Structure 1
Amino acid sequence: MESKPERVNTEAKLRGLLVFLQWTVWNSAAMQACDYYLCLSVYLITFITGFPANIFAFYTLIRKIWRKPAPIDILLLNLTISDLLFLIFLPFKMQEVVNNMQWNIDYFLCPLSGFIFYMTIYNSAFFLTAVSVERYLGVAFPIQHSLRRRPIYAVFASIFMWVFSTLHLSIVYIVPYYNPSGTIPPSRNVCYEGFTEAQLEILLPVRLELFIVLFCVPLLICSFCYINFIRILSRLPNIGRRRRLRAIGLALGTLLVFALCFGPYNVSHVVGFITKESPDWRDKTLLLSTFNACLDPFIFYFTSAAVRSTFSGMIRGIWGRCWCPQILWSSKKEQQEMEKNSLPKPQDVTNAL
């Protein structure tokens, strides 16, 4: 017959095993799976292509602003800084995928990297929207806009957007440490997943607010500006066909990037609020948001004449050293046209394209 001490010891072991199994099942159900090869491939492609492209854009825009600052260049510079911050912290997501979504480094880096990761996503949406407003005002009100536009306004707007997104996304940093008594302690082996019910009660409504304020409002503004931008541009007789098509293509492309890169991830906020839990496919939507960091440089190229001119000069220099025929490159007249200030003049709204 089993003695009392042995029975107590056995019961303690069973309780410990039960707690361990409960934590394991809860943590496994809460953790979102991310396909190893898919996620790692997307992160690597984004980092390898996006980092040098954004470094190049950063260098070009700094030079342009140093010589002659313009509002749209300041907005694009802030968008570049946001993308670079995103890319600098992207290796943490790679490490997480490699370790099968387990967080094996110092835990304080988890909320910090998550905060930077998500904040820069919404910052990109803000600055893309600000660029659309700048371009719309340039063609809709060319004279008034050219008289009132000041670089300092773009600086103030940029500071406001950084502060606004930082305050809203601070929840990402706070929630992992929120653990009221009586709840299962959050695992330190999983980053920004496996939330307790108490944490979800705070997080899910905030995510819904992020969807409405930080996604829907900028999307509506961006759509209004670019739809009217295209409508006005199509009626102007003094715009060359090539410039018109390039500007319209850029507007449509920006809207498409905005909707595809940020839309699915923000829709997951709504689904999570309705179902009262984070959707299993939420990590997949983050892959689309990640791609935005390597798509933004294309927007820089078509938006900024300084970026186009610097890129063309760099390529000419490389091909010149390789003894390639100069006939492949634009004529001197075309290069001078690209170097012109693309901001509005009263008599020519094409400078807003």
Structure 2
Amino acid sequence: MMNSTFNASNSSCVVMNPSAGHLLMSIYIIAFVLGLLFSLVTIGPIIQQICRKNILGIYLLSLSVSDLLYILTMPLWIYYLNNNHKWTLGQGLCSMAGFFYYSNQYISIFILCCISIDRCLAITFPLRVQAFRRQRYAWIISGLVYVSVMALHCLVLYLDKLEDPLDDNDQSCYETFPMTERIAMFNLIRVGVGFFVPLVILTICYCLISNKVQQSTGVDMQGKRKVRLLSIGVIGIFSFCFAPYHILLMIRSIIFFSVGEQQSCFFEQAMYIPFTCSLGLSSLNSMVDPVLYVLASNGVREDMRLFCWKNKQRQMTGSPLVGSKWKTRVINLS
């Protein structure tokens, strides 16, 4: 995998800054606590929407499952950073933690694209696409995203012989410097396919949604403002969480091809702290996903209020609620 000049350890190429590790650990702790809390709080209303034949609920559940899988590996990364980048938990856990990190990142990106495309088609071509907007299709699409992303990462691990991601000397987990030619090429491909293409799709979809809603006479000013702010929020948060990581990853890969493996160590050292910070930002998507698409929805937000109100009534009366307060409603996806 690596040139023999640098085979001794990562420290011969990049000296890991402890302050960067502490910053990243702090971000992981915040993302773990809030991400787990938000996911658990919103999972009930999401399932409620699926029971009501809501297609958006299926995509939200797909996001939540992916986020939870990654969130549950965060304590491993926190332990690793607190242990001064020394992984003592074994090869299997290191491989699993890395696998779920990268899988979650791109599952989240492509599920966000699916949600954006679905919303765009539902608003701009409501009659033409009605026959194709079915729950079973949403399940199939979500399943294909999971299978494709995970299969691709398994293939990459196999081709690059990363059965043992641990460095033999310093026991760092997935922090091998410098990168190899194959990994650099793969990085450029996944930046293009996994970030820039989805960003273009998101931008086009929400521009179409915004234009359609603004032209509509059946939507009041408050509704139009909500759609516009949601569109800006989706693209803004997408860029905030994923753009820094992918842009720096692209720059690192281009520099590697430009100056070669040995000379790239100087650049890797200079980019270590910024790239570490970008890793922290990318992990925040597990905290942002439920807030962005669940709390922004009137239907799901009302469900959460009903859940809280129902529990409060049970505590006051000691009996379950029945009746008209818990009637079924149809959520408006636009």
Please indicate the TM-score interval, normalised by the length of the shorter structure.
0.7 to 0.9
Q: Structure 1: how far apart are the matches of 2:193 and 2:315? A: 51
How far 1:251 sits from its partner (Å)? 1.4
Task: Classify the secondary structure of the residue corresponding to 1:143.
Answer: coil
1:204-226 deviation line (CA, Å, top 9, x unaligned): 11111100111111111111001
2:80 — aligned with what?
Answer: 96
Q: Which protein has greater RCO, CA pairs closer than 8 Å, 6+ apart?
A: 2
Using the size of structure 2 for normalisation, the TM-score is 0.82
Is 1:290–2:272 an aligned residue pair?
A: no
Aligned pairs for 1:234-245 (under 5 A) are: 234-245=214-225
Is 1:46–2:34 an aligned residue pair?
A: no
How far 1:177 sits from its partner (Å)? 2.9
- For the 8 Å contact 1:89–1:113, the answer to whether it is kept is yes
Q: Say if 1:160 and 1:227 are closer, same or farther in 2 by CA, change over 3 A.
A: same
1:282-334 deviation line (CA, Å, top 9, x unaligned): 221011111111111112324544421221123435676899xxxxxxxx99x
2:329 — aligned with what?
Answer: 340
Task: Classify the secondary structure of the residue corresponding to 2:127.
Answer: helix
Deviates more, 1:168-177 or 1:314-323: 314-323
Q: Say if 1:90 and 1:173 are closer, same or farther in 2 by CA, change over 3 A.
A: farther
Aligned pairs for 1:160-179 (under 5 A) are: 160-170=144-154, 173-174=157-158, 175=160, 177=162
1:83-102 deviation line (CA, Å, top 9, x unaligned): 11110111111111101122
What count of residue pairs does the alignment treat as equivalent?
307
> What is the aligned counterpart of 1:137 among 101, 117, 121?
121
Percentage of pairs with the same residue: 25
Q: Structure 1: how far apart are the matches of 2:41 and 2:155? A: 33
Report the aligned-residue RMSD. Answer: 2.9
Q: Structure 2: how far apart are the matches of 1:138 and 1:285? A: 34
How far 1:62 sits from its partner (Å)? 2.1
2:107 — aligned with what?
Answer: 123
Deviates more, 1:96-105 or 1:239-248: 239-248
Using the size of structure 1 for normalisation, the TM-score is 0.78
Bigger radius of gyration among the two? 1
Where structure 1 has 5 or more consecutive residues not aligned to the other structure, the ranges are 1-18, 180-184, 324-331, 343-350
Is 1:352–2:324 an aligned residue pair?
A: no
Q: Say if 1:282 and 1:161 are closer, same or farther in 2 by CA, change over 3 A.
A: same
1:204 — aligned with what?
Answer: 184
> What is the aligned counterpart of 1:151 among 129, 135, 151?
135
Q: Say if 1:305 and 1:146 are closer, same or farther in 2 by CA, change over 3 A.
A: farther
- For the 8 Å contact 2:116–2:202, the answer to whether it is kept is yes
How far 1:246 sits from its partner (Å)? 1.7
